[in-house]
Structure 1
Amino acid sequence: MSTRLETLPDAQGVAQALAGLLAERLRQGGRAVLAGGQTPLPAYRLLGRRSLPWKAIELIPSDERCLEPESPERNDRQIGLALGQPEVRLHRFPAERGPALAAAQMEGVVTALLPFAVVVLGLGEDGHTASLFPGHPLGVEALVAPVYRAPKPPPQRVTLTPKALAQTSLLVFVVTGAEKREALERVLRGEPLPPNHIAAPQRLFLCDRAALPSLG
């Protein structure tokens, strides 16, 4: 597994870099995983303005919160609004039905999507990614897993597992802000945090100067 760190001046630069990378990877169509949360949304807005074969692109969030479909806190809703592309196929987890049922129903969907052209993930201050949290089981054989008692709300979620997320030629982590610096440093040092359980062949960390750690 190779790892590369690319530093941009600020969050806007990270968004532009991510949008360009996604556009390149999906220029002929394909399937991709997109991180939820606020950090990548500016990149998705930029991506949505690109001239791409949107009907030939399939996307899926890395994870979902067990909330009602119209909740503004759901990842699928935030991603869809940011892209603004009605032609793109965005697979949605039936997370409103609960973690176990949602995971079971999405296992076959994810199987059919593999391998991914690119996987985009974020990084939490505690070192979590998607809804894979430190101290939670990570070595499951399923592609989709239910999550209970998540340390940040809502406690019930559904997530792609390391087994699913590793099935791509390029795994991209998007990290911005000084509050993420310590977590990024720990990941790059090889600590057993969730990002280091995803054995993709290539990892790229896109970070801004505020998040850049001093590894000594």
Structure 2
Amino acid sequence: MNLRFFNFSDRVKFSESIVARISFFAEISIRERGAFHIVLAGGETPKSVYSRLREIRTSWPDWRFWFGDERCLPKGGTDRNDTMARRSLLDFLPVAESQIYSIPAELGPISASKEYSVFLKSASIFDVSLLGIGEDGHTASLFPGRELGDSPNSPDVLAVLDAPKPPAERVSLSSNRLKHSRCVMFLAAGGTKKEIVERLKMGEEMPASGIFGLENTEIYYSEI
């Protein structure tokens, strides 16, 4: 695994560096394969990244947007990951709705996981997967002590019925499916994340450390 770590003293440089890296991968992917498949993360940390990402110059019609996980809440709910992504990024872009693959979590975890598995057949490999990391080492909706989907026969999408953080019902890409990414980028910010980021760097066993890219795995940490 090619692991790279980037540490920043402020959130602006943190976001700018991530956006530059995404833009770099997008250019290569579009030139070599005709499309750029990116997995978006939820949570607070990616918001500043998304607000800057929408300003880059790129061939937006060639982008395809996926989601690493989703909360089982009504469509358009303020706490959904796709709602945040739309309000901070997607609503500002010249992209068609067919380019955005939201997880239909309003259907419930079991039905939504089955439907999203069908969508994923159009993307055998993601180009970039953005992931957060919780203080307990969880990423997407893969929590310690729960099913991670890391065995050879694991499904691409997991129905999460008992997440330790509300809401308990969620849908998440499995560990195995997230590893089908050319580059995995972990994003973490704030003093409370410092310890878990150091543990991730050291390779301590946790849900996040079991996910790595086919070519690159990168950890971005902002102290504030």
Same fold by TM-score greater than 0.5:
yes
TM-score (norm 1): 0.92
Q: Name the CA distance, whole Å, in 2 between partners of 1:3 and 1:31.
A: 21
Q: 1:52 aligns with which of 58, 78, 94?
A: 58
What is the total number of aligned residue pairs between the two structures? Answer: 210
Q: 2:114 aligns with which of 85, 100, 104?
A: 104
Instruction: Name the structure 2 match of 1:85.
Output: 93
Instruction: Name the structure 1 match of 2:25.
Output: 25
**SS in structure 2 at match of 1:38:** coil
What residue identity is the alignment partner of 2:88? Answer: A
What residue identity is the alignment partner of 1:205? Answer: I
**SS in structure 1 at match of 2:103:** coil
**SS in structure 2 at match of 1:170:** strand
What residue identity is the alignment partner of 2:178? Answer: L
The 3 A distance-change label for structure 1 pair 136 and 204 is same
5+ long unaligned stretches in structure 1: 211-216
Deviates more, 1:91-100 or 1:3-12: 3-12
Instruction: Name the structure 1 match of 2:135.
Output: 125
Shift of 1:209: 3.3
Matched, 1:144 2:154: no
Shift of 1:86: 4.4
Shift of 1:93: 0.9
1:26-70 CA-to-partner distances (Å, cap 9, x unmatched) read 133411111111101111111111121111110111100000011
**SS in structure 1 at match of 2:126:** coil
Q: Name the CA distance, whole Å, in 1 between partners of 2:123 and 2:87.
A: 22
5+ long unaligned stretches in structure 2: none
Shift of 1:114: 2.1
1:149 touches 1:156 (CA, 8 Å); kept in 2? yes
Instruction: Name the structure 2 match of 1:2.
Output: 2
Runs of 4+ in 1 over 3 A off after TM superposition: none
Q: Name the CA distance, whole Å, in 1 between partners of 2:84 and 2:124.
A: 23
Instruction: Name the structure 2 match of 1:72.
Output: 78
1:59-116 CA-to-partner distances (Å, cap 9, x unmatched) read 1111000000110111111111111214152211110111011001111211321211
Deviates more, 1:182-191 or 1:99-108: 182-191
Q: Name the CA distance, whole Å, in 2 between partners of 1:150 and 1:12.
A: 32
